Chain A
């Protein structure tokens, strides 16, 4: 669904991280939200009350639809965090848990 621009594809180095424990790869400088989309993950959470699917949308910190658990902390805005080597990104099913 999403493809990188060809000049970006070759220009930057790769970063290894995980999505729900599966190895994944991003480009240096990618936000978590962009990296999720580039890896084919278009649904990153289900809403806390109705359980509707949500994925990255505005990509600029406004819509809060790209909430994910990053390195054990829930409800982080994926579009506002850069992927770091070894980062553990988890999709969220429903409400975050208070202890993570």
Chain B
């Protein structure tokens, strides 16, 4: 049994019940902490219910080699993470790692992509991983259905995908089995750091904890300054389309199109700077559908059954923020736009460090202080 913490009822309160918060709460409880997870209700800005479900490595981390390494580690740990979840909950999150493709529609794009992958790997401190730049004929051996406009692409054997709705459900079941106190309808209004602990005024009453982790996605921008942290995140909208369930034919995920474990084909990857607006734009849906059909013409025969828009949680440079407050020690922030890819890290690496008391030097590059460099005149 853990000792009662100085701050009151809980060792740790995780604020946010999406993929980042749930993975952290799962890992904290597994590390022996008494955990509360404070969540909003059914109506919340919740990218965890709208994402594309890739567990993706290739191309990430140009500008921050530590992020590339962090991503690779999560990908390497994902299979074991999925096994742990299945053993604990009996639920299969359908993680597969068949390798992923980034198909390209012009020689210029393919060359730019190859350059990006090379610059990524030329960074100091980069942990290399295998990838290939493929011409059309090589690509066609792996993806036989590509259309005539596809000139080639890049491939990385580390890339994979899962069923991300089931991941969220599985984590929630898992934290219940681990004794986490899940509290929906507990939007945090204010946080007070007092006597070495934290008191939160929430929509469901006061909650006290020795440590807190801000994993509230977009709402972390509001919460972080309450404990001397900073989380300058903004919403970036992405549209997703899903087709009727179809017999398996697409055996590798791509950045734009993937076939789910249950057979539906998901089409995505739009980037829109429109604030907190999840309204579907038919023009965007049709643009991503047309692009998907250029990659895989046979998709044109399938019926669409649903489409939606969700809001990525983006920092100014696109890399995560992991940081402990210096003015309110014991308050942590964790935010990223890859809650699926990084779930294994959050559960198996980050949560045990927070349980043990601190992040250590490895996480210094992920501090939000990188955004506070004064602008040159």
Contact = CB atoms under 8 A, between A and B. Distances in A.
Interface of A: 48-49, 73, 75, 94-99
A76 to B, nearest CB: 9
B298 A96 contact: no
B146 to A, nearest CB: 14
B203 interface: no
10 contacts: A49-B245, A49-B262, A95-B246, A95-B248, A96-B246, A97-B246, A97-B249, A98-B246, A98-B298, A99-B298
A40 to B, nearest CB: 27
Contacts of B298: 98-99
A48 B302 contact: no
A95 B301 contact: no
A96 B249 CA distance: 11
Nearest to A100: B301
Given A48-B262, A48-B263, A49-B262, A95 B245 contact: yes
A95 B263 contact: yes
A97 to B, nearest CB: 5
A97 B246 CA distance: 6
Nearest to B263: A95
A73 B10 CA distance: 58
A68 B245 CA distance: 14
A98 B301 contact: yes
A96 B247 contact: yes
A75 B262 contact: no
Nearest to B261: A49
A75 B303 contact: yes
Contacts of B247: 94-98
B299 interface: yes
* 9 shortest interchain CB distances as A-B pairs: A48-B245, A95-B247, A97-B247, A95-B263, A98-B246, A95-B245, A98-B249, A49-B262, A98-B298
B109 interface: no
B244 interface: yes
B244 A96 contact: yes
Contacts of B302: 98
A99 B245 contact: no
Interface in B237-270: 244-249, 262-263
A48 B303 CA distance: 15
Nearest to B145: A98
A84 B115 CA distance: 57
